[in-house]
């Protein structure tokens, strides 16, 4: 996908949902980008999204402000 959008995130979640073992449940941590938090995003039933707290780059290893991304 060339852009980060709600549609791209939905496709990504569908791929993850298919990889989750039957009877299992996935929990995903994510930042609060607009395409992660929109009410338009359909989250599969076997996935729970848990947002990182705002202004907490130390919890996001890919955040460039931490110097480790």
The upper half-sphere exposure of residue 44, i.e. CA atoms within 13 Å in the direction of its Cβ, equals: 19
Q: Which tokens go with 20? A: 């989750």
Name, in order, each residue with C-beta under 8 angstroms of 69's C-beta and a sequence gap of 6 or more: 61, 62, 63
Per the model's pLDDT, the better-predicted residue between 66 and 6 turns out to be 6
pLDDT band at residue 65 under the 50/70/90 scheme: low
pTM above 0.85, yes or no: no
Q: What is the DSSP letter of 65?
A: G
Pairing relationship of beta strands 47-51 and 26-30 according to DSSP bridges: parallel
Rounded mean pLDDT, 31-45: 82
pLDDT band at residue 7 under the 50/70/90 scheme: confident
């Amino acid at each position: 996908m060339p852009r980060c959008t709600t549609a791209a995130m939905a496709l990504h979640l569908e791929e993850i949902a298919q990889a989750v073992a039957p009877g299992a449940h996935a929990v995903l941590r994510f930042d609060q980008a607009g395409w992660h938090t929109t009410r338009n995003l359909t989250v599969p039933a076997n996935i729970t999204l848990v947002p990182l707290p705002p202004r907490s780059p130390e919890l996001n290893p890919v955040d460039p402000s931490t110097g480790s991304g």
